[in-house]
Structure 1
Amino acid sequence: MCSTENKEEIQQISPEPALILELKTRRPPSFEGRAGCETWSVDFSPEGDWFAWSMGHGIVWVVAWPLDSEDSRNGETDRGDKSFSCGHPVWGLAFGPRPPKSAAAAPPAVTPPIRNHSLLLATGLENGVIKIWNVLTGNAVFDLHGHEGVVRNLIFPQNGTLTLISSSRDKTLRIWDLTQKGKRVQVLSGHKDWISCCSVSSDCSMIASVGRFDRMVCLWSLRSYTFMRSLTGGSRKTLYLLSSCDFSPDGAMLATTAFSGSSWWIDLWDPYTAEKLATLVENFEDYGQNQISSIQFSPNGLYLAIVADNRALQVWEPGKKGMVMQTQVDRDSNGICCSYHPQGGVVATGTRDGHVRFWRAPRTVPSLCHLCRFILRHSVSTHQIEPLPLPKTILEYLTYRNFPERLKTCSSGEEREVWEV
């Protein structure tokens, strides 16, 4: 069903990520020329030893990672690659459960048919059904029913529990307890149109969701299952659409993406105070060629991977340099989703033709200051830091209010088109 192509060297532009590997789908003849071949979702397993992508036509392929290990090239190991036929187009997928960040956050006892140490894969289908698979056995475990539209996003929180969060075009989010086979479910309602993306904070206290057409960014409590607040950034006179969101690994920032006319932008928020911290903007010459499909923070929180219509991948360093690398313009096979490897250094992007590309992303050793902030902000909110008797410079650094002035947001009365990076 798939083939690999190693890319040793490609032409560099200022500067360009190296394309290190590409998976190309080999479709059965009956699928040739048919619509529905898009790779809508990709994901690495929590330990980084498996990779899954929806290759179109209701098929999900799961392969052992790394793909180019010496043993696998020599045929000395049974890789155990698997394909899952879901029966309907797959729009979202996620591995789980995600291990807790600390040993103190031990997961609860797991009951059959989900046993301890099982690696699960959740797939969200076009008909609203969520299928749960056991990756190691290749068997379907059970189905979750309730959504009445396309299941666009699936997330396992990073606390080791068998909790699954889904967002759908039926305007709702659902929180499923997989130990009860999904019989206990919490429904979060409030969006007025499609939910295009959702994300969970690292401390598992908040869920962020963005509505594509209602232009709402909502924050929900994962502890009380209630609406907390919405994020707004002032008046905009031009029509825009929201597309994606992601929490930073320490939970102290939330990135949301939008596009309109001849530009797209990324807003960086403090989810605790609803304050907008910075904005990254890029303008285009061609009107309408600027949709952002996906965004994700790197595991160390230093970079943002962005997939947009005109390029397969861009990588930004928001706090210092802005954009640090981008791929060549590629309108024939542009990306629509992305996922970082848990150890960083590699970004996978899915394309509209059902293929997957793996890019070598920046590997930067974080500074001691960043590591201290990273650890502190994982467990301490902005409201808890602000009263501390700290020098202003340190306080601004800990609360991510030290972005360069050129990245600061304009006042609500200013036009978005004049913002530049």
Structure 2
Amino acid sequence: MCSTENNAELLRSSSDPALLLELKTRRPPSLVGRAGCETWSVDFSPDGAWFAWSMGHGIVWVVAWPLDSEDSQSGEIDREDKSFSCGHPVWGLAFGPRPPKSKSVTAAQPHNAKTKGNHSLLLATGLENGVIKIWNVLSGYAVFDLHGHEGVVRDLVFPQNGTLTLVSSSRDKTLRVWDLAHKGKKVQVLSGHKDWISCCCVSSDCSMIASVGRFDRMVCLWSLRSYTFIRNLTGGTRKTVYLLSSCDFSPDGALLATAAFSGSSWWIDLWDPYTAEKLTTLVDYFDNHGQNQISAIQFSPNGLHLAIVTDGRALRIWTPGQKGMVMQTKADQDANGLCCNYHPQGGVVATGTRDGHVRFWRAPRTVPSLCHLCRSILRHSVSTYQLEPLPLPKRIMEYLTYRNIPECLKTCCSNGEEEWED
């Protein structure tokens, strides 16, 4: 088991008012600053009750959230902190759904594993040697391993439909879709990238997978229903060689954000994944581009904000359709952010750093407008192709398809918020 007393320090004081808590790993002086101590991935469980942190050197720490709750040791299930030793550096991790008890999943569980009730919250960890380890969080035991990748497993994601399906991306240039209900014996391999895959994500309706290749300049869309390649997103005027670092679907699945680098400039593109149309590019709002490389991006649970993790400034939060940032942490050359993850209920963003620490930031809480709520509900199940034939006024159509964002970027500073802008 792992606890804050002997494995990490829980800090509260900071000159940055946005910083809620900070976890600093306690390591022997001989390991401080050495390769292998990076926090490559963090994640909250779907219900927000657990937080997982790859704390470097092959160790994953899972703690009850909130960290300072007096009730963290009470309740019907074991709320003690968990420490999982994976044997190899952990590059990606993801909580699975909390499914009903399944014979196919629990069959590989040790007989002495103690669980309460039918709870079987899973955690997938992607390792440097290409293996994916599946853990039962509440029992603390490994369930089974997934073999097949021949390179670092860089990213993992469970679709939001509650099934035991896991999508993984790797430096071996492939994505794999695993069926954990059959212990990963049923797997689909998606090939098409020409180099390392930096990141992958799944749309909210579980119809599409998006992946970005770090060096091959490819933003690929795949069908999660037929396991086939859909298209490669291209566009814009940049012809110089660039790297792709991260991607994320908006909660309604109608937007895809990608982060890229060229020369000394970093930018974020917003795409319509259905039509392959590039809606806008965020490029002019970062100071010292070359010193502030984007490591990760993620939409907030309500879709109103986009969290951006960079070197030199731990966290920025942008509202698509507005110029400037609604929040940015103080400049900190030691930040070296690598990953981020929103709490499922919003209000908190966790970021992992190159030195193996985790910081929890107070994120803006914006009440969504009625227009935004209606759009989110509609777009969750209606594609752009299905919207376009409808006899709607042009302005409403542009709002529903997010094509109003470029115009909002041009006018929001001089004319204020538009009637249809959130």
What's the TM-score, normalizing by structure 1? 0.89
Partner of 1:45: 45
CA contact under 8 A between 2:105 and 2:143: conserved in structure 1? Answer: no
1:2-401 alignment, distance < 5 Å: 2-7=8-13, 10-11=15-16, 18-28=18-28, 31-32=31-32, 34-71=34-71, 79-97=79-97, 111-113=104-106, 117-282=119-284, 286=288, 288-401=290-403
1:47 Cα deviation after fit: 0.2
- Single out whichever of 33-42 and 234-243 deviates more from structure 2: 234-243
- AA aligned opposite 2:43: D
Query: Which protein, 1 or 2, shows the higher relative CO under an 8 Å CA cutoff with sep ≥ 6?
Result: 1
- Single out whichever of 380-389 and 229-238 deviates more from structure 2: 229-238
**Structure 1, residues 196-229: CA drift from partner, whole Å, max 9, x if none?**
0000000000000000000000000000000001
Consecutive unaligned residues in structure 1, runs of 5 or more: 12-16, 100-106, 409-421
CA contact under 8 A between 1:261 and 1:287: conserved in structure 2? Answer: no
- AA aligned opposite 2:10: T
1:372 Cα deviation after fit: 0.5
Secondary structure (helix, strand or coil) at the match of 1:288 reads helix
Do the aligned partners of residues 285 and 254 (structure 1) sit closer, same or farther apart at CA in structure 2, a change above 3 Å counting?
closer
1:379 Cα deviation after fit: 0.5
1:405 Cα deviation after fit: 2.7
1:157 Cα deviation after fit: 0.2
Do the aligned partners of residues 186 and 78 (structure 1) sit closer, same or farther apart at CA in structure 2, a change above 3 Å counting?
closer
1: CA distance, partners of 2:32 / 2:254: 46
Secondary structure (helix, strand or coil) at the match of 1:373 reads helix
Aligned residues: 393
CA contact under 8 A between 1:98 and 1:157: conserved in structure 2? Answer: no
Do the aligned partners of residues 119 and 271 (structure 1) sit closer, same or farther apart at CA in structure 2, a change above 3 Å counting?
same
CA contact under 8 A between 1:108 and 1:161: conserved in structure 2? Answer: no
**Structure 1, residues 241-295: CA drift from partner, whole Å, max 9, x if none?**
1100000000000000012233211100000000011111146664631321100
1: CA distance, partners of 2:275 / 2:378: 17
2: CA distance, partners of 1:26 / 1:108: 36
CA contact under 8 A between 1:265 and 1:281: conserved in structure 2? Answer: yes
CA contact under 8 A between 1:280 and 1:322: conserved in structure 2? Answer: no
1:361 Cα deviation after fit: 0.2
Residue identity over aligned pairs, in percent, reads 82
Partner of 1:416: none
2: CA distance, partners of 1:321 / 1:366: 19
Do the aligned partners of residues 370 and 324 (structure 1) sit closer, same or farther apart at CA in structure 2, a change above 3 Å counting?
same
1: CA distance, partners of 2:241 / 2:43: 32
**Structure 1, residues 117-170: CA drift from partner, whole Å, max 9, x if none?**
310000000000000000000000000000000000000000010000000000
1:323 Cα deviation after fit: 1.4
**Structure 1, residues 176-212: CA drift from partner, whole Å, max 9, x if none?**
0001111110000000000000000000000000000
CA contact under 8 A between 2:311 and 2:335: conserved in structure 1? Answer: no
Secondary structure (helix, strand or coil) at the match of 2:377 reads helix
1: CA distance, partners of 2:105 / 2:408: 54
1: CA distance, partners of 2:98 / 2:310: 27
1: CA distance, partners of 2:289 / 2:251: 34
1:231 Cα deviation after fit: 0.4
1: CA distance, partners of 2:80 / 2:98: 21
Partner of 1:411: none
- AA aligned opposite 1:61: W
2: CA distance, partners of 1:70 / 1:80: 12
1: CA distance, partners of 2:324 / 2:374: 23
What's the TM-score, normalizing by structure 2? 0.88
1:233 Cα deviation after fit: 1.4
CA-atom RMSD in angstroms: 2.2
**Structure 1, residues 313-336: CA drift from partner, whole Å, max 9, x if none?**
000001234411111122223211
- AA aligned opposite 1:85: S
Do the aligned partners of residues 361 and 285 (structure 1) sit closer, same or farther apart at CA in structure 2, a change above 3 Å counting?
closer
2: CA distance, partners of 1:169 / 1:310: 26
Secondary structure (helix, strand or coil) at the match of 2:291 reads coil
